[in-house]
Amino acid sequence: MKPTIKLICAGFGGQGVLSVGQLVGLCGIELGYDVSWMPSYGPEMRGGTANCHVVLSESSQSPFIGQDMTHALLMNDAAFNKFKPLIKKPENVIIHTGLIHQDYPGCDFSVLAHEHHLDKSMNMIAFGMVVKSLGWEQSLGLKVMKKKFKGLSDEMIFNNEKAFLLGFTYESV
């Protein structure tokens, strides 16, 4: 049985963490997992924070929300403080080093995106890093992006893929 993956994606609204979670969910479906994606909604969102719990499991009976997450993508300080304690293995945490000054794997997504003129696709860099850290193939990420972004402009799709590859190949220090 494949181990259950429980990922938390959290940050500011607008950073695109919910989309990253959905894309990870779509990867899970491709890999034959039972998938759930649970967003924060309601008043919690009005403070400008957003998060989602993504659970990929072989069993359809896995709880879709929990206190024992295995992986995290944390995009701001508040998210780091709230969710870091839930992750047992520090190497499974990816942080936005531009906003979180801690010694964890990650990168300054804003700076990297800006350098490559990919500001609107910043979250796809993060998605690339998440796919890499989960040990998945690059082609899987590109496949689900193709499905998810059907209907977007060619330029947007191109930029998203470019950003994804940037993240996938990024060597975090």
Report CA-CA distances (Å) from 19 to 16, 80, 81.
5, 19, 22
33 binds another protein (CB under 8 A): yes
Which stretch in 63-71, 91-99, 116-124, 155-163 sits in contact with another protein by CB under 8 A? 63-71
Quote the distance between the C-alpha of residue 18 and its chain's center. 8
The reply to whether 163 sits near another protein by the rule CB under 8 A is no
How crowded is residue 165: how many other Cβ atoms within 10 Å of its Cβ? 16
* CB of residue 63 to another protein, shortest distance in Å: 4
Of the ranges 40-48, 81-89, 120-128, 155-163, which one interacts with another protein (CB under 8 A)? 40-48
Among 2, 14, 29, 169, binds another protein (CB under 8 A): 29
Tell me if 105 contacts another protein by CB under 8 A. no
Token representation of residue 7: 């990922």
- Give the H or E element holding residue 78: helix 77-83
Q: At its nearest, how many Å lie between another protein and the CB of residue 47?
A: 14
Return the structure tokens found at 3: 């181990």
